[in-house]
Amino acid sequence: MTQAATAGTLLVDTLVAHGIDRIFCVPGESYLGLLDALHGRGDIDTVVCRHEAGAGFMALADARLTGRPGVACVSRGPGASNAAIAVHTAQQDGVPFLLLVGQVAVRDLRRDAFQEIDYGRMFGGIAKWTAEVADPARLAETLLRAIQVAATGLPGPVVLALPEDVLTAPVPPAAPVRPQAPVRAAPDAGDVERLRGWLAAASRPLVLAGSGLECAGGRAALKAFAEAWELPVLVSFRRQDLFDNAHPLYAGDMGLQNPAPQMALLHDADLLLVLGARLSDITTQNYSFPDPARRSMRLAHVHADPAVIGTHFAADLAVAAPPAALIAALGVPGAASVDRTGWIACLASERRRIAAPRIPTVTDGVPFEAVVEAVARHLPPDAILTLDAGSFAASAYRIIPFAPPQRLLAPISGAMGFGVPAAVAAGLREPGRTVVCMVGDGGFLMTGYELAVAMERRLPLKVVVSVNGVYGSIRIHQERQYPGRPSGTGFANPDFALIGRAFGFPVTHVRTLDDLALLPGLLRSAGGEFIVVETSVAAVLPGPAGG
Ligand X SMILES: Cc1ncc(C[n+]2csc(CCOP(=O)(O)OP(=O)(O)O)c2C)c(N)n1
Of the candidate residues 441, 450, 479, 529, the single one contacting ligand X (CB under 6 A): 441
The distance of closest approach from Cβ of residue 141 to ligand X in the complex, given in angstroms and rounded to an integer, is 35
DSSP 8-state class, residue 106: G
Binding mask 470-509 for ligand X (x = CB under 6 A): xxxxx-----------------------------------
Rounded (10°) CA dihedral 520, 524, 525, 526: 170
Of the candidate residues 102, 411, 442, 500, the single one contacting ligand X (CB under 6 A): 442
Of the candidate residues 9, 240, 468, 536, the single one contacting ligand X (CB under 6 A): 468
The distance of closest approach from Cβ of residue 469 to ligand X in the complex, given in angstroms and rounded to an integer, is 8
Does 536 participate in binding ligand X (rule CB under 6 A)?
no
Minimum CB distance to ligand X smaller for 28 or for 411: 411
Task: Show the beta-strand stretches assigned E in 432-517.
Answer: 435-440, 462-467, 507-510
Q: Footprint of ligand X on residues 354-393 (CB under 6 A)?
A: 389-392
Angle CA 290–292–296, to nearest 5:
70
Q: Footprint of ligand X on residues 447-466 (CB under 6 A)?
A: 466
Minimum CB distance to ligand X smaller for 151 or for 389: 389
List of residues 6+ apart from 508 with CB closer than 8 A: 515, 518, 522, 529, 530, 531, 532
Q: Footprint of ligand X on residues 199-258 (CB under 6 A)?
A: none
The distance of closest approach from Cβ of residue 444 to ligand X in the complex, given in angstroms and rounded to an integer, is 7
Q: Which stretch binds ligand X (CB under 6 A): 17-25, 269-277, 441-449, 456-464?
A: 441-449
The distance of closest approach from Cβ of residue 374 to ligand X in the complex, given in angstroms and rounded to an integer, is 17
User: Which residue, judged by CB position, is nearest to ligand X in the bound state?
Assistant: 440
Minimum CB distance to ligand X smaller for 242 or for 385: 385
Decide if 305 contacts 320 (C-beta within 8 A).
yes
Does 171 participate in binding ligand X (rule CB under 6 A)?
no
Of the candidate residues 153, 218, 411, 417, the single one contacting ligand X (CB under 6 A): 417
Q: Which stretch binds ligand X (CB under 6 A): 42-50, 106-114, 280-288, 434-442?
A: 434-442
Q: What angle separates helix 323-330 from helix 189-201, to the nearest 10 degrees?
A: 70
Instruction: Give CA–CA dist 59/63, Å, rounded.
Output: 6
Q: Which stretch binds ligand X (CB under 6 A): 124-132, 314-322, 398-406, 413-421?
A: 413-421
Nearest to 101 by CA among 185, 38, 167, 151: 167
Instruction: Give the SS3 label for residue 61.
Output: helix
Q: Which stretch binds ligand X (CB under 6 A): 43-51, 133-141, 236-244, 408-416?
A: 408-416
Provide the pairing of β-strand 317-319 with 45-48: unpaired
Instruction: Give CA–CA dist 314/264, Å, rounded.
Output: 21
Instruction: Give CA–CA dist 194/477, Å, rounded.
Output: 46
Minimum CB distance to ligand X smaller for 84 or for 324: 84
Minimum CB distance to ligand X smaller for 218 or for 365: 365
Does 415 participate in binding ligand X (rule CB under 6 A)?
yes
Q: How far apart are the first and last CA of the chain?
A: 67
Angle CA 184–187–191, to nearest 5:
175
Minimum CB distance to ligand X smaller for 84 or for 254: 84
Q: Which stretch binds ligand X (CB under 6 A): 190-198, 379-387, 410-418, 429-437?
A: 410-418
Minimum CB distance to ligand X smaller for 166 or for 389: 389
Provide the pairing of β-strand 233-235 with 205-209: parallel
- How distant is the alpha carbon of residue 356 from its chain centre? 25
Rounded (10°) CA dihedral 436, 440, 441, 447: -60
Minimum CB distance to ligand X smaller for 256 or for 264: 256
Angle CA 356–362–365, to nearest 5:
100
Whats the size of the chain, residue-wise? 547
Q: Which stretch binds ligand X (CB under 6 A): 124-132, 199-207, 436-444, 518-526?
A: 436-444
Minimum CB distance to ligand X smaller for 84 or for 167: 84
The distance of closest approach from Cβ of residue 357 to ligand X in the complex, given in angstroms and rounded to an integer, is 17
Of the candidate residues 205, 421, 440, 528, the single one contacting ligand X (CB under 6 A): 440
Minimum CB distance to ligand X smaller for 8 or for 472: 472
Nearest to 283 by CA among 313, 253, 310: 253
List of residues 6+ apart from 56 with CB closer than 8 A: 24, 72, 74, 83, 85, 86, 87, 89, 90, 97, 99
The distance of closest approach from Cβ of residue 416 to ligand X in the complex, given in angstroms and rounded to an integer, is 4
- How distant is the alpha carbon of residue 96 from its chain centre? 11
The distance of closest approach from Cβ of residue 518 to ligand X in the complex, given in angstroms and rounded to an integer, is 21
Minimum CB distance to ligand X smaller for 142 or for 535: 535
What amino acid occupies position 266?
Answer: L
Minimum CB distance to ligand X smaller for 172 or for 488: 488
Count CB neighbours of 475 within 10 A: 21
Give the CA distances from residue 66 to residues 96, 185, 213, 295, in Å, rounded to whole numbers and listed in that order: 10, 22, 13, 41
Binding site for ligand X (CB under 6 A): 389-392, 414-417, 440-443, 466, 468, 470-474
